[in-house]
Amino acid sequence: MHRSLLISTFSVLGSLLILFLLAPLLSFFTGISLSDLMKYGLREDALNALCITIAASSLSTILLLLLGIPISYVIARRTFRGRDLIRSLVDLPLIIPHGVAGIAILIAYNSRAPLGSLLARTGIIIEDSFWGIVTVMCFVSAPLMVDTLIDGFLSVDQSLEHVARSLGASEWRTFLTVTLPLSFRSVITASIMAWARGISEVGALLIVAYYPKSINVLIMDRFWNYGLEAAKATALPLLAISVSCFILLKWLSGRR
């Protein structure tokens, strides 16, 4: 069979991109020693930083679910003036540089700012605190959560909701018994994406919450103070978790 010159050329260029993406990951996994992993990656402070990161990202994902499901449903099911503007505002963190996002969060929510002082009265202070980590993760993960939820709600056949309403179900009951269960896989996917995005953040955390040290901040700290090998060993458990999340996402998307 005659092979298309266009397809052949594009295949070669595409292979170069795949090699470019794979080379750093393969180098990472093959170039690390067990002794460095035990000395840096599995040391108590590294495991504590990893636990802090996982806990903060889990809490931020729960908060985003509580706030993201309502706004996603309204955007998916209603047409109103300003809807596109709201979607754009939700997506805004995607294009803001991480360092800039950290400065903006610190200005808005530090304990001396109007909004931050209100939070401080309830015991939530974001400067160098666990809540600062959660706040940063919520900010950077919100677009992934909301956009995925909107796609999930849009994928639900509205005629099923209309049938439920015609049989006397209230709007709340229709949402809880028809819409939400049918979009459950998107809810899970959105949660995993938001969680994974949260644990990958570092730029904004360096500005808002250097302490307690999350794993990405510790990786940067090890790189600055001990060099590349120490940073690599510290980062290995985080990379393993990130790859696991990716495999889980691909598995979920393949079950659709």
Whole-angstrom distance, CA of residue 16 vs CA of residue 104:
38
Instruction: Indicate the DSSP class of residue 175.
Output: I
Q: 198 to each of 55, 60, 225, 242, how far by Cα in Å?
A: 10, 8, 25, 11
Q: What is the pLDDT of residue 39?
A: 86
Three-state SS at 242: helix
Global confidence as pTM: 0.89
Residues near 14 by beta carbon (within 8 Å), at least 6 away in sequence:
none
Q: What is the pLDDT of residue 2?
A: 60
Q: What is the pLDDT of residue 244?
A: 87
Q: What is the pLDDT of residue 16?
A: 95
Whole-angstrom distance, CA of residue 141 vs CA of residue 193:
8
Of 223, 227, 202, 226, residue with least CA distance to 213:
202
- Average pLDDT across each block of 10 residues of the chain; the chain has 256 residues. List them in order: 80 94 86 83 91 95 96 94 93 94 95 90 92 96 96 94 92 94 93 92 94 94 92 90 84 68
